[in-house]
Structure 1
């Protein structure tokens, strides 16, 4: 029996058609590259500052590999989402350019942050490729649920015991060659475990009874909300981490809402969080410092309110169109490369630049929730919801903090802030979302 193979020309035409099927992603990647190149050109003209050769080499390698990555995705023909990768890449590129812009003014305190951030960006993109291409099944995440829970608890315990306290919060572990922020990895572990727990108990949680006109699930299944509330309050007390506590609780409420479609769960959860924070306010000085600096930064302009006052002045100087790349003075704001990188963007690129950054996060939110709506698998639906919420709510929390809408928290701006662990974890989230979005998976490894 003879086996017929497609002619070489036919195979080549099929490959070209598959690559052309991802033309939207390819064009968006090229557009993002041109936009970043224009910002870099304006910076060089304005300041005379040049990229170190190592950073240029890493950046060009990343751009080339991203285009190759897009073409390989086309050849595989799993039909993954074409918007997530260019959007996340644009945000990461803006972050890299801003870190390079800020590096000269911060070198005496932080060393060569531009080179380190470029290396971490390369590592993050490599991990993204591994998550996307390695032949593993999504349900392996569900199968090893208790392993992820145990790892998460160990990370929290290690941070509580061995963590390094910075700016009043115990968030970092010193691993010798680098410092690692366990709360970043804990986000993924928490989302995976909650997706598994809620999906396994979907029918029971949706079995309800009425009390005072409110639809309630069986009492034992209200316990997870109580545990999550206790965990968030515990994080505030022990780790002094207001931002992560609010983020984790928001992730849980979003996933619970998707499962039950009961808005009162979200309302009740937020009310409980506010009451918990209000209870802790008079008991812990670091909570008072954050709230007082938010409520009236001008009452202590040389100490507690200094950082926020400088941030608000910088945004005012930026106005609608900004001072121009390289023409501002963003390093006058403390932590301008981490907590306040959004302010640095606002000063030099103006309201237009900050709205562009926020639009990128909103685009990730829209695509992520669309992926969750389209998938037929309950676990993957909850997983996509949790991952999308983790990215977008974190961006909203830190952005609101830097413009003084809420008390400032110590979390990073996803993809943009200087933080290697944050960058890697958020690209892992993008890789997982792309894998969930694939509508033409190989059944041997796709589900």
Structure 2
């Protein structure tokens, strides 16, 4: 176990070099001298992840040694580029990141096993669905999507918390009903399918996703949650029939939404051909494509490109900013890190000692990995 933690420490220290170097390059382009004060952000990040490493060494000595360093490196790149394109948001991002590390340590200290997930799975599911649907009733519309809730001048996306609760609910439900869900009672068009009663959760999730599209105007979240559910269902049962039925429902729902919802039509048409209206609806996507093209192989250098010409670059198109200023090599490195995270997360799921742990690991890994792929 100590060798795993020593490997993790070595990888953390190795990751600190590119994180500090990237931020130092940004500081230099602003004309500021390099001091401990100007490099406080990357040094503070390293200190926070070093504290997380100590907690893992004590509380979870058998944990995967690569995940924490990969998250540190991705966080360092993300914080640097948020500081680059929208400095006023960087502090909020740092606070959220530090709070997340604290929550991670608290979870490691309090949750000794995952039996609590199975015991309270329906409560976790209810909380997740409530958080997911909350913006429909009290949300604030920003940039065309009703995803945010504003409390005292501070905005949060309940859907980000809902992901964790829903994955935990699905893990608990699937672990308890795995055998029943794996049994097929009917054969339709060559596909073995279970009783309709067992497909009810699939229809419920499908309906919730349609509600998100209709009322929150958020296509990405709807596709993300639905895909997580299908992936976890396939991991639990190994039944390709679930995936086929799931994608059939997705196709029906997507076609229906396209026909009756104007914002779905607009999003799809922009994605299909952004150059049809390059100065109007397609402007954001067109600018992001130009930004990526301008980056070339090695990029313009951090602080020397023009990614701020992309509307809402700090949220929707941060990868385009990375691609412009770090080039194809830098953008590919970020994608490689996400792929490595996915591989190590699924490896953790494969090593799990129970179905519940395996489903939790695979679901949470899918949530992050598919979201990165979708963006």
Find the aligned partners of 2:336 and 2:193 in 1 and give their Cα distance: 36
The match for 1:62 is 45
Match of residue 12, structure 2, among 8, 13, 29: 29
Contact 1:324 1:348 in 2 (8 A): yes
The match for 2:98 is 122
Q: 1:252 to 1:304 in 2, by over 3 A?
A: same
Find the aligned partners of 1:313 and 1:50 in 2 and give their Cα distance: 32
Find the aligned partners of 1:199 and 1:188 in 2 and give their Cα distance: 16
Q: Which moved more, 1:146-155 or 1:187-196?
A: 146-155
Q: Does 1:196 align with 2:172?
A: yes
The match for 2:113 is 137
Find the aligned partners of 2:224 and 2:260 in 1 and give their Cα distance: 22
Q: Does 1:95 align with 2:78?
A: yes
Match of residue 160, structure 2, among 142, 164, 184: 184
Find the aligned partners of 1:274 and 1:319 in 2 and give their Cα distance: 36
Offset of residue 187 of structure 1: 0.7
The match for 2:147 is 171
Offset of residue 59 of structure 1: 4.1
Q: Which moved more, 1:278-287 or 1:205-214?
A: 205-214
Q: 1:244 to 1:54 in 2, by over 3 A?
A: farther
Offset of residue 356 of structure 1: 0.8
Match of residue 137, structure 2, among 161, 165, 169: 161
The match for 2:22 is 39
Q: 1:283 to 1:295 in 2, by over 3 A?
A: same
Contact 1:195 1:382 in 2 (8 A): yes
Find the aligned partners of 2:112 and 2:58 in 1 and give their Cα distance: 19
Runs of 4+ residues deviating >4 angstroms? 18-21, 49-56
Offset of residue 262 of structure 1: 1.8
Find the aligned partners of 1:388 and 1:53 in 2 and give their Cα distance: 35
The match for 1:73 is 56
Q: 1:286 to 1:212 in 2, by over 3 A?
A: closer
Q: Does 1:241 align with 2:218?
A: yes
The match for 2:249 is 272
1:135-171 CA-partner distances (Å, limit 9, x unpaired)? 5432212211222122223323431111001121110
Unpaired segments of 5 or more residues in structure 2? none
Question: TM-score under structure 1 normalisation?
Answer: 0.79
The structure with more radius of gyration: 1
Count of residues paired in the alignment: 374
| Greater relative contact order (CA < 8 Å, ≥ 6 in sequence) | 1
Question: TM-score under structure 2 normalisation?
Answer: 0.93
